[in-house]
Chains A and B, each alone.
Chain A
């Protein structure tokens, strides 16, 4: 990996260069109408960010985001509703896709989520052609998190608030500019055309960044203590042992089945194929779907294995922390906290995991107690 320093005043040259080849998206500050007021007394930033397409005229609005944007990176790889093919005439419109996207302001939680999305759409028997084209074409420009949101909990699962791989470029704010890591061949080609504004990073700058990162880790870890989120290694065990826990029913009481948690989730990927008439042809659409919806597992005959609400909540956690840990070796949760931000019923994944963990610990201790009694 090569690391450079880019001065604040030169950043638009970097953007302009990217914009020559890509549809560039950059973070802006937005008011989030959905945001549930935070209960935390902590003095933490509450700004929200969203990615907007780069345009020279509004470039004052673009900022370096302190933490992740509202929308997960998956929104650039699959769309809420899109045509995946038509039949029976093959008329895939060539060039429909336009230029590949360059995504700025991506944080490490979103980079982690790509492990899950890639596993689903690129691995297995076949890869999804639409996803593959966008994913391979995309230029990912990630950034360190100089702050965190109240709902951020990446570190609970050993995900750091700064990226170390999985990006093309990574930006770390430092003094009056940025340290820029160029990781991929694509990035190196772009760098070679920007030599005049990039200087090789100095040892002092690199250790300056290391210091900032350490401080950020410490602050985030301290913030997370209060939530007592179980360690990554315990996730699968507590989900399986918590199958019959009363928590599912208890927490589901406030769910209004809006689907916000699954749609905003960086790792949720489920979809539904549906057909529509189009002239004398037909087209097949892929719609985002979610396991929190009543009809997600309903079959044609009307039977529905997840007919009760609590079963659907539990199912979502089983998918994330049992299915994916077994099949991918990673949990399908990156700790981005978007599901907490979006939920009108205030259902909080941190709290559910903590409760499952506590009752597991309780029953483990009870087992030990019983054994001792039995032995005596």
Chain B
């Protein structure tokens, strides 16, 4: 029988990691191998509640496991946050266009993440780490609201010890435990050790952060065609049919979610 494009396959929750008070990472085992490219998204079903789109945060090289880092926001994610090891969810996809890794060869790559926006970037980082010889260097600048809101706290220190990788984290509001930079992520970009006019910029985070980071990167001399944005819109089908996720002449689910700023710069109100 031809596969039904709306039907999810089963995936078992194998582990739940509490990242922050509102963000959890779910490690899933799909009933069949499930491949994806960094930046592509999937539709996840909480049975009988509904679906929501997520960009996996796991290593795209691993097809047997899938990790989703999910912030509690609406009905579906609220229910998901109550689920435990052994519970069943559904997944379908992957959908859309991810990061064109080929175009990053030989370049400086500046990755700027905000909040839970580090999730899709983590799967990109896994890709970059495993082929690090191909790139000039990878610089990660991550911003979170406070020290408690940082995701992957247990991994970031290890990333910073890797060769050709430079990591810095900033928080909007510090506390007694925090000795690092305090301020919006835009304030730690000026000194990033990359050649701005030739570097690739990759941005993922809440819309308002994406807007100001993009403006900042343009200011620093980045080429609009080298700025990659992971756009977020309300979605339903993920297939370019339901009409929910339009930005100008594009559907985020089909033509994105990763777009260059060059593609979007003539569209109106892209950040709202």
Contacts and interface: CB of A to CB of B under 8 A. Distances in A.
Nearest to B268: A243
Contacts of B254: 124-125
Interface string A48-76: 00000000000000000000000000000
Contact of B233 (A121, A126, A297): A297
B243 A282 contact: no
A346 to B, nearest CB: 25
8 contacts: A120-B243, A124-B239, A129-B4, A271-B236, A275-B47, A300-B52, A300-B74, A322-B249
Most B CB within 10 A of own CB, among A86, A286, A297, A318: A297
A87 B243 contact: no
B7 A90 contact: yes
Given A87-B45, A277-B48, A303-B207, A296 B244 contact: yes
Given A124-B241, A273-B237, A300-B75, 6 more contacts: A88-B10, A129-B2, A271-B237, A272-B244, A282-B47, A323-B248
A301 B90 contact: no
Contacts of B51: 273, 275
Contacts of B88: 88
A298 interface: yes
Contacts of A301: 73-74
Interface of A: 84-88, 90, 92, 120-121, 124-129, 243, 269-277, 282, 284, 286, 289, 291, 296-301, 303, 305, 315, 318-319, 322-323, 326-327
Contact of A85 (B7, B239, B248): B7
Contacts of A270: 242-244
A269 B95 CA distance: 20
A327 B73 CA distance: 33
A289 B249 contact: no
Nearest to A296: B244
Contacts of A276: 48
B4 A84 contact: yes
Contact of B236 (A120, A273, A326): A273
Most B CB within 10 A of own CB, among A84, A126, A315: A126
B272 A305 contact: yes
A90 B1 contact: yes
A323 B237 contact: no
B269 interface: yes
B106 interface: no
Most A CB within 10 A of own CB, among B5, B49, B268: B5
A318 B243 CA distance: 12
B177 to A, nearest CB: 28
Nearest to A307: B272
A300 B1 contact: no
B90 A88 contact: yes
B105 interface: no
Interface string B216-250: 00000000000000001110110111111010110
Nearest to B232: A299
A305 B6 CA distance: 26
A271 B249 contact: no
Interface string B1-28: 1101111111000000000000000000
Contact of A319 (B95, B236, B242, B243): B243
A315 B244 CA distance: 11
Q: Which 4 pairs, one residue from A and one from B, show the smallest C-beta to C-beta distance? A: A300-B74, A270-B243, A300-B73, A85-B7
Contacts of B76: 300
Most A CB within 10 A of own CB, among B10, B51, B207, B239: B239
B61 interface: no
B241 A85 contact: no
B58 interface: no
A275 B2 CA distance: 21
B57 interface: no
B193 interface: no
B267 to A, nearest CB: 10
B50 interface: yes
